[in-house]
Structure 1
Amino acid sequence: MLTVCNFHYIRTNFEKPYPSIFGVTPIEFDNQIKELKKIGEFISIDQLVNNIDEILVDTKNHLLITFDDGLKEQFELALPILEKNNIEALFFINSMNYIEKKVSMVHKIHLVRSEINPNTILSEVNKVCAIERNELTSDEMIKAVKHYRYDDQQSAHLKYLLNFKLPKKDLELVINSLFETYFNEEEVVNSLYMTNNQLNYLAQKQMLGNHTHSHLALGLLNEVQIESEIFKTKSFIQSFQKNTNLAISYPYGSEEACQDPVTEIAKQLGHKIGFSMERGTNDKTANKLLLKRYSSNDLPGGKNYIE
């Protein structure tokens, strides 16, 4: 049995004008590691890849920590705690942040939403798109609330609209305009993402994973685009150190983002392990290219954990 706990932001302070960037403090992270140790045994990356079949059928609970987005705070604040506890983890990165020196759209959205009232953002969306293209269907509203379970309803609907519904061209017009008003992209790239030296450190330990090039929902792309998104980051990771344990984390991790042929293309490009964001523990029935993960909030020590 395999239980995977996923993290994003690790900060000492999350105070912003509007709630949009959520995570844990180093103290909370350290405490959660201690709580997780009570329910299972942490495994190494080699164990994960080389013994995955045995792990999935084992009745013992094996634990794995993952981080998405390659944030510098993960390396500076979380990694020392992991190393103190002799725990390995997978850190999934987007190569666009390094090759193109650009901020991922998902992080632009987080930053914009942290500084700007949601109604102002929707007003900007309405200037660009026809109203009918902005509105979510009833099914989409349900999906939004289910996927963004830790947000209030308005925030969940806005995030779903921006991440899944709004055409890419329109999304870029809206968010880039707002982002450029409030932020300097070069400064954000340098402060938000890991350095090449930090990536190299993780690569030497086989702890660097593929989160695709641009952090797009792969299942909404065509096959050529999916292959390009995965291949670019694979090649970037291999430029540091040949990685025989290559794993991939699919951006957003929803059913839509992981739908066929995403996992098959990932497998063809050499990935042995893949992670969604479907909540649950993995057993012998699990698809190794579509393993389930819990948000850190859902597990012992997490903010929403209920025994």
Structure 2
Amino acid sequence: MLCVGNYHYIRTDFKAKYPSIFGFTPSKFKIQLETLSKYGEFISQPELLQKIGQPLKKNYILITFDDGLKEQYEIAKPILDEMGIPFIFFVNSWNFSNQKVSMVHKIHLLRSVLSSEIINRRTALNLSPEENLLAIKHYNYDDTDTAKLKYLLNFKLNFKQLESLIDPLFHEYFDESKVFEELYMTRDMLIDLDKNHNLGSHAHQHIPLGEFDKEIISQDLKDSQLFFNSLLGHKLDAISYPYGSFSACQKVSKIAKENKFKLGFTMERALTADLQEDSLLISRYDANDLPLGKGNLFKENKLFSKPNYRYWYENSAIYQ
């Protein structure tokens, strides 16, 4: 079986006027890794590639980070290297080709200095009862109002609507060029990660790909591979789909395969029993779902006992 843990922010402290992210401190990260090591064997990207089409005869654990943040390279990587634990850092290529901050991070930063209520007042849309439930389920570590706002911003508004809402506010409080330099890895960091097979794509832009037409999905994945091929001299094998929700992943795995990706990661909270069926819809847990995390879905059971296996890939028709 395979358990994949996914992280984003890792900092010494997360103090903010309005807490907007649920990251890990270095000490908590190291303790969680030590705990996870008791349950299975850490696996690398090359080792996982070799197991495509095969049963998984051991209990494996894969550590992943999304978004290509500089703090991941500067804080998490030394801890992982010291402990001898392999990992994959998934990076959006758009940030580097455009020298811009992703909308998702603009929202995170704004929400750290402004209340959800202030931002919500600027929007003209409301969620349906069904969407409210989806929001609460997807953003299960946020309070209800924040979860609804995040869902509205990330899934309900189109990009032009988001720009007109978020960009004026963002530029009122932040210097985008300064944020870019401080927030994201450098190209040299990407090259260094690739040398040890620790690099993956997080698509080109950080958008919920499955919410768009196939042509837009295909172009986004193509642009990502073109960037990495130009930078590194080869395409990447692994991709994690931005947001990772059911709707954000629909239609995407087939197009990912067409763009030469071999491993694809969702945010379906489940274990992967084997890679004999589909290696482009591998499930992942948020790091806060895992032992010692904020939610810890495994309080009563050990990591691999009474497993909840991935289900989305079995409904393959929805991805075509």
Q: Could you say which TM-score interval applies, normalised by the shorter chain?
A: over 0.9
Q: Give the alignment's Cα RMSD to 1 decimal.
A: 1.3
Counterpart for residue 281 of structure 1: 271
Counterpart for residue 271 of structure 1: 261
Counterpart for residue 141 of structure 2: 150
Counterpart for residue 19 of structure 1: 19
Counterpart for residue 222 of structure 1: 213
2:206 aligned with 1:208, yes or no?
A: no
Q: Deviations over 1:223-282 (max 9, x none)?
A: 12111111112222223334576101000000100112x111100100001000010100
Match of 2:109 among 100, 107, 111: 111
Query: Is the 1:217–1:252 Cα contact (8 Å) retained in structure 2?
Result: yes
Distance in 1 between the 2:226 and 2:288 partners? Answer: 33
2:231 aligned with 1:240, yes or no?
A: yes
Query: Is the 2:229–2:235 Cα contact (8 Å) retained in structure 1?
Result: no
Counterpart for residue 50 of structure 1: 50
- The normalised TM-score by structure 1 is 0.94
Query: Is the 1:204–1:241 Cα contact (8 Å) retained in structure 2?
Result: no
Q: Report the residue type matching 2:260 in the other structure.
A: G
Match of 1:138 among 129, 134, 137: 129
Label 1:223 to 1:58 Cα distance change in 2 as closer, same or farther (>3 A).
closer
Match of 1:53, SS state, is: coil
2:195 aligned with 1:197, yes or no?
A: no
Distance in 1 between the 2:229 and 2:81 partners? Answer: 23
Distance in 2 between the 1:246 and 1:240 partners? Answer: 15
Distance in 1 between the 2:272 and 2:235 partners? Answer: 22
Distance in 1 between the 2:234 and 2:47 partners? Answer: 14
Distance in 2 between the 1:241 and 1:40 partners? Answer: 32
Match of 1:149, SS state, is: coil
Q: Deviations over 1:168-188 (max 9, x none)?
A: 211111100110000000000
Distance in 2 between the 1:253 and 1:65 partners? Answer: 16
In the alignment, structure 2 segments of 5+ residues that lack a partner are 301-320
Query: Is the 2:226–2:235 Cα contact (8 Å) retained in structure 1?
Result: no
2:9 aligned with 1:5, yes or no?
A: no
Question: Following TM superposition, where does structure 1 have runs of at least 4 consecutive aligned residues deviating by more than 3 angstroms?
Answer: 242-245
Match of 1:169 among 145, 160, 164: 160
Match of 1:103, SS state, is: coil
Match of 2:66 among 65, 68, 75: 68
- The normalised TM-score by structure 2 is 0.90
Q: Deviations over 1:79-125 (max 9, x none)?
A: 00110111111111111111100000000000011111111101222
Match of 1:300 among 267, 288, 291: 291
Distance in 2 between the 1:167 and 1:221 partners? Answer: 10
Q: Deviations over 1:148-186 (max 9, x none)?
A: 000000000000000001122111111001100000000
Label 1:180 to 1:245 Cα distance change in 2 as closer, same or farther (>3 A).
closer
Q: Report the residue type matching 1:20 in the other structure.
A: S
Query: Is the 1:3–1:282 Cα contact (8 Å) retained in structure 2?
Result: yes
Q: Deviations over 1:24-62 (max 9, x none)?
A: 0011111111000000000121111112333xx334210
In the alignment, structure 1 segments of 5+ residues that lack a partner are none
Query: Is the 2:204–2:220 Cα contact (8 Å) retained in structure 1?
Result: yes
Query: Is the 2:8–2:66 Cα contact (8 Å) retained in structure 1?
Result: yes
Counterpart for residue 314 of structure 2: none
Number of equivalences: 297
Query: Is the 2:91–2:200 Cα contact (8 Å) retained in structure 1?
Result: yes
Distance in 2 between the 1:239 and 1:77 partners? Answer: 27
Query: Is the 1:106–1:215 Cα contact (8 Å) retained in structure 2?
Result: yes
Counterpart for residue 182 of structure 1: 173
Shift of 1:13: 1.0
Q: Deviations over 1:174-217 (max 9, x none)?
A: 10011000000000000000011111101112211111111000
Label 1:135 to 1:188 Cα distance change in 2 as closer, same or farther (>3 A).
same
Distance in 2 between the 1:32 and 1:52 partners? Answer: 27
Q: Report the residue type matching 1:10 in the other structure.
A: I
